Amino acid sequence: MLVDQLKPLAFLLGTWRGSGSGVYPTVDDFTYEEEAVFTHTGRPFLAYLQKTWDPDSGRPMHSETGIFRALEGGRIELVMSHAFGIAEVAEGAVSGSTLETSSTALVSTGTAKTVEAVARRMELVDGELRYTIQMAFGGHPLQGHLEATLLKV
């Protein structure tokens, strides 16, 4: 059963698949396929498990897992584990079908690169889950990095 505090995030629940694209000054443009799964246990948070793969070869690419914590008044806290060795802590809010967060801390494992900032925006539009991720990395200011459109399966 969904607790009241989690209801603003209920639109994310389920399994989503779709495709996205990435750009950044430090890499060649790329595209990807994605699956993202949001589940809940009855407490006011979502557990999130995501993976991406190359559209042509099927080669696995990124993965991330995390927790979306729903606070009072639509405030959100995010704790995200990136497969490339970054932990992201972020805060933001959900309003209607739009969720936005900005990182408050990013910590790396010993062998991982350092990311300076991450900003996420997720929006449900006509049954499509669209997201954008901005990133500040390698001295480059916060700017568009990923965008994708997913459909519930």
Q: Which residues of the chain form contacts with a copy of itself (CB under 8 A)?
A: 41-43, 45, 47-49, 51, 53, 59-60, 63-67, 69, 71, 77-83, 85-89, 91, 104-105, 107-112
Q: How many Cβ atoms from other residues are within 10 Å of residue 69's Cβ?
A: 18
Which residue number, 82 or 120, has a Cβ lying nearer to a copy of itself? 82
* Residue 92 contacts residue 80 (beta carbons within 8 Å): no
The minimum distance between CB 58 and a copy of itself, in angstroms, equals 9
Nearer to a copy of itself, 54 or 97 (CB): 54
Q: Minimum distance from CB of 72 to a copy of itself (Å)?
A: 10
Closest approach of a copy of itself to the CB of residue 102, in Å:
12
Residue entry with tokens 């900003």: 119
User: Which is closer to a copy of itself, CB of 89 or CB of 142?
Assistant: 89
**CB neighbours of residue 114 within 10 Å:** 11
Task: Please identify, using beta-carbon distances, which residue of 46 and 150 lies nearer to a copy of itself.
Answer: 46
Within a 10 A sphere around the Cβ of 126, how many other Cβ atoms?
5
Residue 8: CB minimum distance to a copy of itself, A: 16
Q: Which is nearer to a copy of itself, 102 or 130 (CB)?
A: 102
Q: How far is the CB of 89 from a copy of itself (least distance, A)?
A: 5
Pairing outcome for strands 115-125 and 128-137? antiparallel
Q: Which residues contact 127 (CB under 8 A, 6 or more apart)?
A: 151, 152
Burial of 58: CB neighbours in 10 Å, binned 0-12, 13-18, 19+: exposed
